[in-house]
């Protein structure tokens, strides 16, 4: 086997390991836009189709604003792989962690933003956008425009971004380029894609942006980062690698959560975690 074949095989093996860990032993049912609307409706939220240049993004948003700040939850990677070696036809989630966390959040001014091609598909939806290009410049630009729409339609002036898994990478990249983000919260966040790929033996996401590369630009934004102690997909070392790139500022210490794995243990703890751990500023280290 040639070198290229070995690299490909190693990458696929790593993806397969994560695919099995997520419980995808059979073809699960992915949620639809109708499902999203039903869940949002029970919480008094309205469904939105946000038309972008490439994608139509699915979202939930409040019908009425009660404050100047909107908290937006950004979904994880969803069902990106149908089998160990074949990407899904679309990455709509089976168990949408960010959606579930948003619904469990007691605040009223909250919204949910899906990733490209989740729940809604356009002609631009190609597997690269949930395999090799999940954080490409065009994807991040589309997500940023969607935030602008959510802000404008509710009359909000400021944002709080919350991201789960790959959605945390999106939230961090957006926070670094915007001037209206009051806080950044991540849950099991892939905040250093280079370190993540090295850890799992994956081919680097060369067409995607890496949140660790913009860590310094996040220094002025209060943050909180929740990491599951039992998370084998995004272990604490990933956040440590990201935090090291924030120097000379000392990044907030991660909140290590007992009995939480990548997609397990978060929902029951979420309201208490929000109450007990507020966003913290980055602090300058002594010279």
What number is the average pLDDT over the span 44-57? 98
What percentage of the chain carries pLDDT values higher than 70? 89
Residue 180, Cβ density class (10 Å: 0-12 exposed, 13-18 middle, ≥19 buried): middle
Residue 51 sits at φ, ψ, to 5 deg, of: -80, 125
Residue 96 in this model has a pLDDT that exceeds 90: yes
pLDDT at residue 286, rounded to an integer: 57
Structure tokens at 4: 């290229």
pLDDT bucket at 84, cuts 50 / 70 / 90: low
Instruction: Enter the pTM of the model.
Output: 0.91
Cα 204 to the center of its chain, rounded Å: 18
Q: Is the dihedral of CA 210, 177, 157, 51 positive or negative?
A: negative
DSSP secondary structure letter of residue 203:
P
What number is the average pLDDT over the span 194-211? 94
Enumerate the domain spans of the chain.
Answer: 3-284
Cβ contact 249:283 at 8 Å = yes
Range 3-284 classified under CATH 3.40.50.300: no
Higher pLDDT, 11 or 36: 36
Q: 41, 33, 34, 36: which is closest to 62 by C-alpha?
A: 41
pLDDT at residue 24, rounded to an integer: 46
Residue 7 in this model has a pLDDT that exceeds 50: no
Q: 134, 186, 136: which is closest to 163 by C-alpha?
A: 186
What number is the average pLDDT over the span 170-198? 98
What is the residue whose two structure tokens read 């997609």?
263
What number is the average pLDDT over the span 154-179? 98
User: Which ranges constitute the DSSP H helices of the chain?
Assistant: 3-21, 33-42, 97-104, 137-154, 166-177, 193-200, 236-244, 266-276
Q: How far apart are the first and last CA of the chain?
A: 51
Higher pLDDT, 192 or 84: 192
Instruction: Please work out, in degrees rounded to the nearest 5, the angle formed at the alpha carbon of residue 273 by the alpha carbons of 271 and 274.
Output: 65
What percentage of the chain carries pLDDT values higher than 90? 82
Residue 146 in this model has a pLDDT that exceeds 90: yes
User: How many angstroms separate the CA atoms of 267 and 125, rounded?
Assistant: 30
pLDDT at residue 287, rounded to an integer: 55
Structure tokens at 52: 């972008």
Lowest mean pLDDT among 70-79, 111-120, 277-286: 277-286
3-state SS assignment for residue 118: coil
Residue 253 sits at φ, ψ, to 5 deg, of: -65, 140
Residue 18 in this model has a pLDDT that exceeds 80: no
What number is the average pLDDT over the span 41-55? 97
pLDDT at residue 283, rounded to an integer: 85
């Amino acid at each position: 086997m040639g070198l290229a074949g070995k690299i490909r095989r190693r990458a696929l093996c790593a993806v397969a390991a994560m695919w099995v860990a997520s419980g995808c032993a059979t073809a699960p049912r992915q949620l639809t836009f109708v499902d999203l609307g039903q869940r949002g409706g029970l919480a008094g939220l309205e469904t939105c189709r946000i038309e972008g240049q490439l994608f139509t993004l699915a979202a939930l948003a409040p019908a009425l604003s009660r404050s100047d700040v909107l908290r937006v939850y950004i979904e994880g990677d969803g069902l990106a792989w149908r089998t160990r070696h074949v990407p899904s036809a679309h990455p709509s989630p089976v168990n949408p962690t960010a959606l579930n966390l948003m619904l469990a959040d007691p605040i009223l001014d909250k919204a949910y933003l899906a990733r490209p091609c989740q729940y809604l598909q356009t002609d631009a939806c190609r597997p690269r956008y949930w395999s090799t290009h999940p954080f490409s410049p065009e994807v991040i630009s589309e997500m940023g425009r969607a935030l602008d729409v959510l802000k404008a339609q509710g009359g909000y002036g400021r944002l709080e971004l919350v991201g789960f898994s790959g959605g945390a990478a999106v939230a961090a990249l957006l926070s670094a380029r915007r001037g209206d983000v009051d806080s950044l919260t991540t849950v099991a966040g892939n905040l250093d894609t280079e370190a993540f790929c090295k850890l799992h033996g994956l081919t680097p996401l060369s067409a995607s942006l890496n949140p660790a590369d913009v860590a310094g630009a996040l220094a002025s934004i209060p943050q909180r980062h929740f990491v599951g102690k039992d998370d084998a997909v995004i272990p604490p070392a990933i956040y440590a690698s990201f935090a090291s790139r924030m120097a000379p500022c000392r990044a907030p210490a991660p909140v290590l959560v007992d009995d939480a794995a990548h997609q397990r243990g978060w929902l029951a703890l979420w309201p208490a975690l929000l109450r007990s751990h507020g966003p913290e500023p980055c602090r300058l280290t002594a010279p």
